[in-house]
Amino acid sequence: MKTKVNVELKSLSFMITDCCNLKCIFCSRNALSSNKQYMDPKFIKEQITETIRWAKKLETINLSGGEPFLHPQLEEIFKIIHSFGLNVRINTNGLFFNKKNFELLDKYNVKLFTISLDSSKREVHDKIRGLEGSFDKTVDGIKKCVNKGYKIFIKATIGKDNVDDVLDLVKFANTLGVYGFSFSRIIPIGRACFNNDENKSFIKKYLTMGSLVTKYIETTNMELLVDDPLRHIFDYRVKKFLDQKPNLENVWGGCTAGCKFLYIRLDKTVIACTAINEPCGDLNKESLYNIWHNSKQIEELRTRDNLKGKCGKCSKKYLCGGCRAYALATTGDLFGEDQFCQSVGML
């Protein structure tokens, strides 16, 4: 098999805790306030030390959870990453932007954040996040971060509860002055394992929403990050590219699992995407170098030659590839069909 994509590890993600003050209905980690696992900063240092020796393009360390701000040794983690001259990006619910934490962030020059906000409607966001009042606190945190000049991406996870609100959310995000907006669909794992959004009505709404959002973003100064490989169906920018009739055998896009980043979980297993529950390696047994260069799963993700069903036969498999996390969650096969795609037959 020949790898078609140019692979370079540019970011490395650490799940530093499974503790969280919210109870989001779609949480893939089943994070709870009662969970008390925390990643050892020494382990993080060991992995970064080893990785920068061979990953010459590594730029960013992503910290996620749970809620990263609940890690009792967060300053030590910042200090370690700062010593390597790498950027830190924090994926957070936005509820911990207080004076003490701002002082800590400024001390280590941490200015990159992805903040979860799922609706411009207070009651919808609070329902999804499982905490009354979370909307107001998150929005307040976003405003404070923008005022300090931090680079903020608002991230929305889309399900049946908020799919009708997303365009209004993007417009609201624009009024907040954030750097960018991103969205992705719910993957039915963790607390969302019984999610029933896979139906014609929801998929049509989701694809329509994607089209409206991508068009609106062009009227703003915001950046748009679409995590969904099926963006070629609804993103008019990709459609314009396809109108030029490129040779799709020479185009690589869509699913980035195993191509640009890796995600290290608390148990030291490694996954190629935050929503792929099937590990591609185990740092208890092997090095990150070996996983990145020799994992059979990662090799197959990079070639897409073994995609099954209509995804495998599709002329756009190198442009798209389907969401491998969604395929695994819904079919039990990492290389199965992505049921959201029109060609698979849901629509």
C-beta separation of 90 from 68 below 8 A = yes
Q: At what angle do helices 134-147 and 122-129 cross, to 10 degrees?
A: 100
The residue behind tokens 């209509």 is 310
Is the dihedral angle over the CA atoms 32, 34, 40, 41 positive or is it negative? positive
Percent of the chain exceeding pLDDT 90 equals 80
Joined tokens for residue 167: 């365009």
Lowest mean pLDDT among 53-57, 207-211, 248-252, 341-345: 341-345
Percent of the chain exceeding pLDDT 70 equals 96
Q: Is the pTM of this model over 0.85?
A: yes
Residue 345: is its pLDDT beyond 70?
no
The CA–CA distances, whole Å, from 59 to 17, 105, 159, 233 equal 22, 18, 32, 31
Residue 40: is its pLDDT beyond 80?
yes
Confidence of residue 72 (pLDDT cuts 50, 70, 90): very high
Burial class (CB in 10 A: 0-12, 13-18, 19+), 80: buried
* Nearest CA among 154, 123, 319 for reference residue 220: 154
Give the list of residues 6+ apart from residue 26 with CB closer than 8 angstroms, or none: 128, 157, 159, 186, 187, 190, 191, 192, 195
What is the pLDDT averaged over residues 141-148?
A: 98
φ and ψ of 127, to 5 deg:
-65, -45
